[in-house]
């Protein structure tokens, strides 16, 4: 994939999301990148794009930008939609993806920077049923799932 520097510098976030999707196929924008897109977090590094993929974990560096792809089990590769010309997790799936990676010590999420009132708790419950108990317990610990 080649992009002229002038074109890259003039490209907006949504156009960059399209390129991020092309950096590894299949993949979808998730984690903090998606939470920022939906205005659910106030913390996001500039020029840093996170995706979930099923092939491999890797990073691509492009003129000061980082595309990070995190591999997940194919059974957890769901909960995204096509928005304009790119694939992105739903807000609730982006959160559950982050908690999944956190529960295994592979991710750091600034929970205090989240706006939980913008999330559908019932949808989080529905999505999290397919995730390991370890992830569900962490969601409960932080109040995103009701305790039984």
How many helices (H) and strands (E) in the chain? 6, 6
Whether residue 66 lies inside any domain: the answer is yes
Total number of domains in the chain: 1
Whether residue 117 lies inside any domain: the answer is yes
Give CA separation, 141 vs 28, 30, 57, 131, 144, in Å: 27, 22, 27, 15, 8
Whether residue 58 lies inside any domain: the answer is yes
pLDDT of 1: 64
Whether residue 116 lies inside any domain: the answer is yes
pLDDT of 50: 97
pTM, two decimals, is 0.93
Q: What is the pLDDT along the chain (148 residues), one digit of tens a residue?
A: 677 778 777 888 999 999 999 999 999 999 999 999 999 998 877 889 999 999 999 999 988 889 999 999 999 999 999 999 999 999 999 999 999 999 999 999 999 999 999 999 999 999 999 999 999 999 999 999 987 5
Whether residue 22 lies inside any domain: the answer is yes
Q: Are 43 and 50 in contact (CB under 8 A)?
A: no
Give CA separation, 134 vs 15, 59, 129, in Å: 35, 26, 11
Whether residue 148 lies inside any domain: the answer is no
Query: Which range of residues forms the domain containing residue 59?
Result: 5-141
Whether residue 71 lies inside any domain: the answer is yes
**For 144, what's the count of Cα atoms within 13 Å in the CB-facing half-sphere?**
29
Whether residue 146 lies inside any domain: the answer is no
Quote the CA–CA distance of 69 and 126 in Å, as a whole number: 25
């Amino acid at each position: 994939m080649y992009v002229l520097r002038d074109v890259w510098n003039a490209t907006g976030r949504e156009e960059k999301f399209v390129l991020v999707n092309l950096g590894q196929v299949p993949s979808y924008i998730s984690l903090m990148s998606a939470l920022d897109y939906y205005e659910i977090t106030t913390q996001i590094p500039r020029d840093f794009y996170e995706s979930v993929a099923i092939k491999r974990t890797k990073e691509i560096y492009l003129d000061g930008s980082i595309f990070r792809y995190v591999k997940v089990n194919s059974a957890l590769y769901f909960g995204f939609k096509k928005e304009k010309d790119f694939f992105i997790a739903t807000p609730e799936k982006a959160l559950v993806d982050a908690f999944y990676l956190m529960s295994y010590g592979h991710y750091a999420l600034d929970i205090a920077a989240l706006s939980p009132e913008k999330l559908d708790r019932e949808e989080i419950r529905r999505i999290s049923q397919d995730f390991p108990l370890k992830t569900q317990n962490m969601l409960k610990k932080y109040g995103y799932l009701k305790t039984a």
